[in-house]
A = this chain, B = another copy of it.
Amino acid sequence: MPVIGDVARLAGVSKATASRALSGRGYVADDTRQRVVAAASKIGYIVSPDAASLVTGRTKNVGVVIPFVNRWFFGEVLEGIERALLAAGYDLTLYNVAETGPERARVFDFFLARKRVDAVIAVGVDLSGHEVDALEHREKPLVCLGGSGGAAARLAVDDRAVGTLATEHLLHLGHTRIAHLAGAGALDHPASVAGQRRAGYLEAMTTAGITPAPSDIVETEMSTPDGYRAALQLLGHPNHRPTALFAASDEVAFGAMRAADRLGIAVPLDLSIVGVDGHEYAEMFDLTTIEQYPGEQGRLAVDVVLRLLGEGEVADPLPDSGAPLPTRLVVRASTTRAPR
C-alpha cells in the first residue's frame, strides 16, 4: 500500500510538500502541486485517516446516537444526516442506543469518549446530565435533535404546540370527547417529545373547558402494533366511546385505524383520527396529520454540527437557534365534523 513518501519520491519533492500539495494547505507552486497529484493518482495513493487524525486531532467522523432505526421518523432523520455528512466528506458512526442501562453507559463512556468522533448528534434521546458532561469534558460538540436534557445546541419541533394544534383541529370540528393515545415514557421525562404532545393536548382541552376522562388517555409505544393494542383497549367499550382521537404519532394512528376497522368503527364517520409526523404512508391511509420533516431536520443538525466544527464553507446562515422547527397541519379524510 503506497504511503505519502512514495508519492513524494515519485514527484521529486519532500513529504512535507507532498502533504501540502494534497491537502491544499500552505504554499505550493502550481506545477509542483500538479506533479504531486499526478503521482498520487498514478500509484493509487490514499491518505491514512488514522495517521492524519492522530496529528490533527480531527477525524472527519461524527457519532450519531439514536434510539431506533426502524421507526419512520428516526429512519428519515438518519437518512438525512447520512446524506449531509457524506456530502461534507464526513463519516457517520452509528450508535443505536435505546434504554438506559449498562450498554448505554458503555456507549457514552467508552465509545463516544474515545477520540474517534469529532462531534455527536443525539436524536430523540433524553440525555442525562452525566452524559452531557462526559461529552463536554472531551470537548466534543453535541447537537440534540428533539429529546431532552441536552444543555447544548438543540433543534426541536415545539411538540407542545403540535399537541395543541392537533387537538384544536378536532375541537374546531365540534368534537368534545377527544381521546389521546399518548406516547409512553412521558412520566420519566415530562420534557420528552411524547410528554410535550400530551401536555399540549391537555392544555387545549382545558382551554376548551373540557376535562378528559382518565380512561380516554391511553399510553402506547410509538409503534403501529402497540398503537393497535392501545386503541383496542380505548375503543373496546361499545357503550360510550370518544368521537375523535389524537394519536401521538402517525404510526400509532395507523394502528388505531386498523383497530377501528377491526371493531367495525368507521373512520371518520364514527371516529376522527389525527396523527403526527407526515409519515410516508399517511397519504395512502388518508390520515390527517401534523407534518414535520425529519429528513430535513437531519440535514439541519448536520449543518449545525459542521458549523460547530468550524467547517467554514457552509454558506446558508444558521436558523434562529431558538426557533422551533417547522410543522404543518395537513387535513385529509380521517377527520370530519363530530356527529350530532
Q: Count of chain A residues with Cβ under 8 Å from any Cβ of B?
A: 49
Q: Which of A69-77, A190-198, A241-249, A322-330 lies at the binding interface? A: A69-77
Which chain A residues numbered 48 to 90 have a C-beta less than 8 Å away from chain B? 48-51, 53-54, 59, 61, 68-70, 72, 75-76, 78-79, 82-83, 86
Contacts known (A70-B76, A78-B69, A93-B91); A225 close to B284, Cβ less than 8 A: yes
> Which B residues lie within 8 Å of A115 (CB)?
46, 48-50
Report if A113 contacts B (CB, 8 A): yes
Contacts of A280 in B (CB 8 A): 70, 223-225
Q: Do residues A111 and B91 form an inter-chain contact, with CB atoms below 8 A?
A: yes
| Chain B CB within 8 A of A154 CB | no
What residue in chain B is nearest A229 (Cβ atoms)?
B284
Instruction: Give the distance in Å from the alpha carbon of A1 to the alpha carbon of B68 in the complex.
Output: 32
A148 CA / B116 CA spacing, docked (Å): 32
User: How many copies of the polypeptide does the oligomer hold?
Assistant: 2
Assess whether A103 is interfacial by the CB under 8 Å rule: yes
Contacts known (A76-B70, A255-B284, A281-B225); A46 close to B92, Cβ less than 8 A: no
Output the least CB separation between A250 and chain B (Å). 12
**Interface 1/0s, chain A 101-137, versus B by CB < 8 A?**
0010011001101111000000000000000000000
Q: Are B96 and A93 in contact (CB under 8 A)?
A: no
Q: A114 and B47 in contact (CB under 8 A), knowing A69-B78, A258-B284?
A: yes
Sample 9 A-B pairs with CB under 8 A, ordered by A number.
Answer: A47-B114, A49-B115, A50-B54, A54-B54, A69-B79, A70-B76, A83-B96, A86-B106, A228-B284
A residues apposed to B, CB below 8 Å: 1, 46-51, 53-54, 59, 61, 68-70, 72, 75-76, 78-79, 82-83, 86, 91-96, 103, 106-107, 110-111, 113-116, 138, 223-225, 228, 255, 258, 280-281, 283-285
Give 16 new A-B contacts, CB below 8 A, not counting A50-B54, A70-B280, A91-B111.
A46-B110, A48-B114, A48-B115, A50-B115, A61-B93, A61-B116, A70-B72, A78-B94, A78-B96, A86-B95, A86-B103, A86-B111, A91-B116, A223-B280, A224-B281, A225-B281
